[in-house]
């Protein structure tokens, strides 16, 4: 007796673009410039160009399983390269142009990418990297190669090549992408995504309590494609036929506001510092952004005062989230319908990810709600082992230790209470910088705040407070520290306040705690 069966259907990433090209052929991918749109294309034509990118790479000898790097901003050409690489079965290694060549070179050496697709304005950086690690071919997008030896124009290569004849013929468990962690708390590590893991991650994003995009949306990806695949937006937008707006390198408030108005942006995603710039521009100019309904925030915690300011000034819903490069990267997200939404809560996990709170030794806490613990996760979108490492990244029960301290509220919302590596041990007791930072950032005069430990002969470490004030504002030390009294233990209160003209941020826009510790941890 035949029990029946279902069709085999590989969960491969080319299918998102294939779907958009067939059913939403005229829906647009728009690239922004400095003050105006520099290009627009429909999904049908973008797919044709992606096929030709794949054909051009094949003509250069790139085969399935090879790694091809991109060093580029968010643009149409980058998306075409992205799909071209992955659609032919190669692996797309996104490089972060905000890191130094000395940091980038070991990543390239480890990935083994011999071909790098680079934005024209980043050619000097690419050439600097190529002096430290062997690169066989530089392919230039979004501008001219300038006649530089060893650099070819992608447009010229596309013109000479036919479409790829091996499109989508891929095992769903094959590697599709490679992204290195930000390195804000340690050395960067390579995370390899598979077609299947990113496909399932996209389905999670499209759930109504996550991003829940539809064909009626116009999505502004102000989070870079080199930052954990722009949180999956270049997959999610074509999956539903949504318009995708890419700002290139222009993330200042004025440029983003012009794009939001001209393209009717409904949903925008980026780190808190991006939205601080936008709201400051809106306050200074009085410009209205009537189409914008939601802003998705991730990458680093959002101060409650900034969230309230954005919602009040822009009239939007702010969806906070928590995730990691190792999670593809979306872990949890506040639902747009959640009436208990606040800056501290990062929402519940969508189907496909499970959470566990443990003690410092990895034992599950007997109560999982209302208790602070070390956060562990598991699911098909979670890293199993890092690039080049023989040992698994999971514990004996298959859980990945995130390094975050967290609490799960009674309604299931996740609250990240700090990073285990950020904790300061003073007199044998622990101080959590995140709690201090949240209180100080709530002051209307403060833009950003960070707390790090400084060596102390008597106590081992003592916390110091570093602040970046809002333009034209100031508070004396007594008032800054006074905001903490009665809200944290008295011995948690920093003894030193340092004002910074500009808070250092890492390549992903997070406050760079490693740099702050290197500069200020010693007396």
Q: How confident is the model at residue 186 (pLDDT cuts 50, 70, 90)?
A: low
Element (H, E) at 197: helix 195-205
Mean pLDDT of 425-431: 78
Q: How far is CA 120 from CA 134, 138, 154, 248, in A?
A: 19, 10, 11, 12
3-state secondary structure 81-98: HHHHHHHCCCEEEECCCC
Which of 2-16, 190-204, 448-462 shows the lowest mean pLDDT across its residues?
448-462
Mean pLDDT of 26-54: 95
Task: Look at residue 414 and tell me if it is in a domain.
Answer: no
Q: What is the pTM of this model?
A: 0.86
> What distance in Å separates the CA atoms of residue 199 and residue 242, rounded to the nearest whole number?
17
Cβ 189 vs Cβ 290: under 8 Å: no
User: Strand 137-141 to strand 151-153: parallel, antiparallel, or no bridges (unpaired)?
Assistant: parallel
Residues 248, 119 share a domain: yes
Contacts of 127 (CB under 8 A, 6+ apart): 138, 148
Active-site residue flag, 468 = no
Contacts of 422 (CB under 8 A, 6+ apart): 185, 432, 433, 434, 452, 513
Task: Look at residue 150 and tell me if it is in a domain.
Answer: yes
Q: How confident is the model at residue 48 (pLDDT cuts 50, 70, 90)?
A: very high
Residues 340, 260 share a domain: yes
Mean pLDDT of 442-460: 88
- pLDDT value for 165: 85
Beta bridge mates, 464:
452, 496
Residues 151, 76 share a domain: yes
Domain boundary among 408, 440, 467: 408
Residues 508, 393 share a domain: no
DSSP H helices in 294-372? 304-314
User: Strand 91-94 to strand 67-71: parallel, antiparallel, or no bridges (unpaired)?
Assistant: parallel
Q: Which of 181, 183, 182, 185 is nearest to 433 (CA)?
A: 185
Domain boundary among 355, 384, 408: 408
Angle at CA of residue 139, ends 137 and 144, nearest 5° = 135
Task: Look at residue 7 and tell me if it is in a domain.
Answer: no
Task: Look at residue 9 and tell me if it is in a domain.
Answer: no
Residues 401, 432 share a domain: no
Instruction: Give the best-scoring range by mean pLDDT among 282-291, 292-301, 334-343, 427-436.
Output: 282-291
Q: Is 210 exposed, middle or buried (0-12, 13-18, 19+ CB in 10 A)?
A: buried
Active-site residue flag, 513 = no
> What distance in Å separates the CA atoms of residue 69 and residue 398, rounded to the nearest whole number?
31
- pLDDT value for 83: 98
231 in the Ramachandran plot: left (φ > 0), alpha (ψ -120 to 50) or beta?
left
Among 28, 172, 326, 437, which one carries the catalytic annotation? 326
- pLDDT value for 157: 95
Q: How confident is the model at residue 215 (pLDDT cuts 50, 70, 90)?
A: very high
Contacts of 157 (CB under 8 A, 6+ apart): 56, 59, 60, 139
Task: Tally the domains of the chain.
Answer: 2
Residues 171, 71 share a domain: yes
- pLDDT value for 321: 96
Q: How confident is the model at residue 185 (pLDDT cuts 50, 70, 90)?
A: low
Among 392, 430, 491, 495, which one carries the catalytic annotation? 430
Residues 379, 459 share a domain: no
Task: Look at residue 290 and tell me if it is in a domain.
Answer: yes
Helix (H, G, I), strand (E, B) or coil at 57: helix
- CATH number of the domain that residue 315 is part of: 3.40.50.12780
Mean pLDDT of 40-55: 97
Q: Which one-letter DSSP state was computed for residue 303?
A: P
Given a cut of 90, whether residue 23 has pLDDT beyond it is yes
Residues 189, 126 share a domain: yes
pLDDT in tens, 475-523: 999 999 999 998 888 889 998 999 999 999 877 777 888 889 889 988 7
Q: Which of 94, 89, 66, 65 is nearest to 79 (CA)?
A: 94
- pLDDT value for 342: 87
Residues 277, 199 share a domain: yes
> What distance in Å separates the CA atoms of residue 221 and residue 77, rounded to the nearest whole number?
15
Residues 315, 169 share a domain: yes
Mean pLDDT of 448-472: 90
Instruction: Give the best-scoring range by mean pLDDT among 62-76, 412-426, 455-469.
Output: 62-76
Residues 240, 150 share a domain: yes
Cβ 157 vs Cβ 145: under 8 Å: no
Q: Which of 507, 430, 41, 464 is nearest to 273 (CA)?
A: 507
pLDDT in tens, 161-183: 988 988 999 999 999 999 998 76
- CATH number of the domain that residue 454 is part of: 3.30.300.30
Q: How many CA atoms lie within 13 A of 171 on its CB side?
A: 5
Residues 182, 143 share a domain: yes
Helix (H, G, I), strand (E, B) or coil at 152: strand
Please give the sequence-ordered ranges of beta strands (E in DSSP) within 457-516, or none if there are none.
460-469, 496-499
> What distance in Å separates the CA atoms of residue 204 and residue 181, rounded to the nearest whole number?
21
Task: Look at residue 5 and tell me if it is in a domain.
Answer: no
> What distance in Å separates the CA atoms of residue 400 and residue 501, rounded to the nearest whole number?
38
Phi first, then psi, for residue 41 (nearest 5°) are -155, 150
Range of 498's domain? 423-520
> What distance in Å separates the CA atoms of residue 241 and residue 43, rounded to the nearest whole number?
8
Active-site residue flag, 326 = yes
Percent of the residues in the chain that have a pLDDT greater than 70, as a whole number: 99
- pLDDT value for 187: 73
Task: Look at residue 413 and tell me if it is in a domain.
Answer: no
> What distance in Å separates the CA atoms of residue 134 and residue 136, rounded to the nearest whole number?
6
Active-site residue flag, 430 = yes
Mean pLDDT of 198-216: 98
- pLDDT value for 332: 97
Phi first, then psi, for residue 210 (nearest 5°) are -105, -115
- pLDDT value for 374: 94
Q: Is 235 exposed, middle or buried (0-12, 13-18, 19+ CB in 10 A)?
A: buried
Given a cut of 90, whether residue 260 has pLDDT beyond it is yes
Domain boundary among 408, 439, 454: 408
Given a cut of 70, whether residue 428 has pLDDT beyond it is no
Question: At what angle are helices 233-240 and 195-205 packed, to 10 degrees?
Answer: 70
Angle at CA of residue 330, ends 435 and 432, nearest 5° = 15
Task: Look at residue 226 and tell me if it is in a domain.
Answer: yes
Q: Starting from the edge strand earliest in sequence, which strands make up the sheet with 400-408, in order?
A: 354-358, 372-378, 400-408, 414-419
The answer, yes or no, to whether the previous bond of 329 is cis (omega within 30 of 0) is: yes
């Amino acid at each position: 007796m035949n029990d029946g069966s279902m069709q085999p259907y590989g969960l491969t990433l080319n299918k998102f673009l294939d779907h958009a090209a067939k059913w939403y052929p005229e829906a647009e991918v728009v690239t922004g410039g400095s003050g105006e749109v520099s290009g627009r294309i429909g999904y049908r034509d973008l797919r044709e160009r992606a096929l030709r990118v794949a054909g051009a790479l094949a003509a250069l000898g790139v085969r399935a399983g090879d790694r091809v790097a991109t060093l580029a901003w968010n643009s149409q050409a980058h998306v075409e390269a992205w799909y071209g690489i992955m659609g032919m079965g190669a692996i797309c290694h996104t490089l972060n142009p905000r890191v130094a060549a000395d940091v980038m070179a070991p990543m390239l050496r480890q990935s083994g990418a011999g071909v790098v697709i680079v934005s024209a304005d980043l050619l000097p950086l690419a050439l600097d990297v190529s002096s430290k690690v062997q690169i066989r071919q530089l392919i230039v997008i979004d501008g001219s190669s300038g006649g530089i030896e060893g650099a070819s124009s992608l447009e010229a290569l596309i013109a000479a090549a036919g479409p790829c004849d091996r499109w989508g013929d891929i095992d769903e468990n094959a590697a599709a992408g490679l992204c290195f962690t930000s390195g804000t708390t340690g050395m960067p590590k390579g995370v390899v995504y598979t077609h299947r893991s990113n496909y399932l991650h996209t389905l999670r994003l499209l759930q109504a309590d996550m991003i829940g995009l539809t064909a009626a949306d116009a999505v502004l990806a102000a989070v870079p494609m080199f930052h954990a695949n722009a949180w999956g937006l270049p997959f999610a937008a074509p999956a539903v036929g949504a318009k995708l707006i890419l700002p290139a390198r222009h993330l200042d408030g004025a440029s983003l506001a012009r794009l939001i108005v001209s393209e009717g942006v409904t949903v925008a995603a980026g780190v808190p510092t991006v939205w601080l710039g936008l709201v400051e521009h809106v306050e200074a100019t009085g410009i209205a952004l009537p189409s914008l309904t939601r802003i998705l925030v991730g990458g680093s915690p959002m101060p409650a005062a900034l969230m309230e300011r954005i919602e009040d000034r822009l009239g939007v819903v702010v969806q906070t989230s928590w995730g990691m490069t190792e999670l593809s990267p979306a872990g949890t997200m506040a639902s747009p319908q959640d009436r208990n939404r606040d800056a501290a809560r990062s929402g519940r996990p969508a189907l496909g990810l499970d959470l566990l709170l443990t003690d410092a030794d990895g034992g599950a806490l007997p109560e999982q709600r209302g208790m602070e613990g070390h956060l562990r996760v598991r699911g098909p979108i979670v890293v199993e082992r890092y690039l080049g490492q023989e040992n698994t990244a999971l514990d004996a029960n298959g859980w990945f230790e995130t390094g975050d301290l967290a609490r799960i509220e009674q309604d299931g919302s996740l609250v990240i209470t700090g990073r285990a590596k950020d904790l300061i041990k003073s007199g044998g007791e622990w101080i959590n910088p995140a709690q201090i930072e949240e209180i100080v950032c709530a002051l209307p005069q403060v833009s950003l705040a960070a707390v790090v430990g400084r060596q102390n002969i008597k106590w081992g470490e003592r916390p110091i407070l570093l602040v970046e004030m809002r333009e034209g504002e100031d508070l004396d030390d007594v008032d800054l520290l006074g905001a903490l009294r009665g809200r944290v233990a008295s011995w948690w209160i920093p003894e030193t306040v340092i004002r910074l003209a500009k808070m250092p941020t890492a390549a992903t826009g997070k406050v760079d705690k490693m740099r702050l510790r290197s500069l200020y941890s010693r007396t």
